[in-house]
Structure 1
Amino acid sequence: MGTAEQLAAAGVGFGDEVVVPSYATAEAAEAVRSIGALPLFADIDPGSFCLDPAAVARAVTPRTAAIVPVHLFGHPADLMALRLVAAERGLLLVEHVDHTEERGGSSPRQANAAYLTSRLTGVVTPVTAPGVVHRYDSYVVRVPGNGRPDRDAFARALRARGVRCRVPVQTPVHRMPSFRRELWLPETERAADECLALPVEEEMTRRELQRLVSVCNGLGGLVPLAAA
């Protein structure tokens, strides 16, 4: 069963709140709204980009009925901690499968990710929680700085040099017109400003990986707007 069906089968519906991440696609929030419930957005862990259990606990209200974590970019959400929050508050927990995510997980993709992580400088490479297997559906780095212009300038400079890249989450769900909420999720906002997905596909050759590293490192991290 899909997320909406699982929630509905458990009796979640009109008037209930369901905690979902805003830093993701709108799929989970749409599933919640499709059964008449209200998406309740909580902040993310800055390392995994998935729901932060502590933020979830803070967001819960008497109307909250369930938590719907989303595994993002191939890094699983912290289900153990989220189950503890759910158990303490008497909430349902339903894992959401985001069908818009790439499905990686092959050894070549993970080997490519390891190569990039060991050689990239000037960007913050992905973090993997202890004991977790990262599938690297996407290889998402941070371009740290003072906000979106730094990341976007870096992306334009990469593309100008023939390197494919994309912003993995263009707009957090709580800022989309159909879901707009007046709330501040600092880690979500920071990730939306800093994150960039670099190519890591299984079919990439070592030469392509070396060129990717060379171009990224040659830019030296932040790129002034005028240089892009």
Structure 2
Amino acid sequence: MLRAAGIGTGDEVIVPAFGNVEIAEAVVLAGAVPVFADIEQSTYCLDPAAVAASVNSRTAAVVVVHRFGHPADVRRLRDVGQRHGVLVLEQGELDAPFDELAQRRAHAAYLSGRLSGVVTPDGAEGHGYQQYVVRVPGNGRPDRDAFARSVRAKGIDCRVPVKTPVHRTPKFWRDVCLPETERAADETLALPVDASMSRRDLQRLVSACNALGGLLQPAF
């Protein structure tokens, strides 16, 4: 996609650091340099304001990723691209069949209405819930990891969606300030929301998480 757009040596491409390393690798394979911009707190997708602040004379493109099924603000990002003469490319997530998608959304609505002690997804229109990602409040990564261990001990599958932001990996290390990216990496946890889950499965998940709410008090 990048090569087809004529992007190569000497170009810079703005990408998110919150997510998989494959996007940055694709930029390098095209001969360009990845530049990492911060994400929005609520969507986990590129922040249009952060993208605009990262544009310079070498910027050729922006790669937008729709994260966890939450759609990025493509309209604002395209506005940034038009103002600066920068190409905006989308890297979408595969969607599910309608029935499965509707079931996931129903499960997500059930969880969002009953979970306490965690910050639930914002429920934006169009959210596909490829992953149901919550934030564990408290003191960042130690509390999130302790929460995850406790939930797993109760037989609930969960996982950290992004363990290390790309700009903190050895291959792509950058001395840049991406506060929302790093905060999200420290606080987020993906809970199961598979279409195959029963109401009893969801109730067990809610009970396991809510029982830990009193442990999530920030230290002062």
Question: What is the correspondence of 1:151-190 to structure 2 with a 5 Å cutoff?
Answer: 151-190=144-183
SS across alignment from 2:193: coil
Question: What is the correspondence of 1:1-228 to structure 2 with a 5 Å cutoff?
Answer: 6-97=1-92, 106-129=101-124, 132-220=125-213, 222=215
Question: Residues 17 and 43 of structure 1: is their aligned pair in 2 closer, same or farther, counting only changes over 3 Å?
Answer: same
CA distance in 1, matches of 2:121, 2:147: 17
Amino acid at match of 2:178: L
CA distance in 1, matches of 2:140, 2:15: 24
Identical-pair percentage: 61
**2:116·2:213 contact (CA, 8 Å) conserved in 1?**
yes
Gaps of 5+ in 2: none
**2:108·2:193 contact (CA, 8 Å) conserved in 1?**
yes
TM-score normalized by structure 1? 0.90
TM-score normalized by structure 2? 0.93
Gaps of 5+ in 1: 1-5
CA distance in 2, matches of 1:196, 1:206: 21
Aligned length: 215
Deviation at 1:97, TM superposition (A): 3.3
CA distance in 2, matches of 1:218, 1:210: 12
Deviation at 1:52, TM superposition (A): 0.3
Cα root mean square deviation, aligned: 1.6
Question: Residues 185 and 152 of structure 1: is their aligned pair in 2 closer, same or farther, counting only changes over 3 Å?
Answer: same
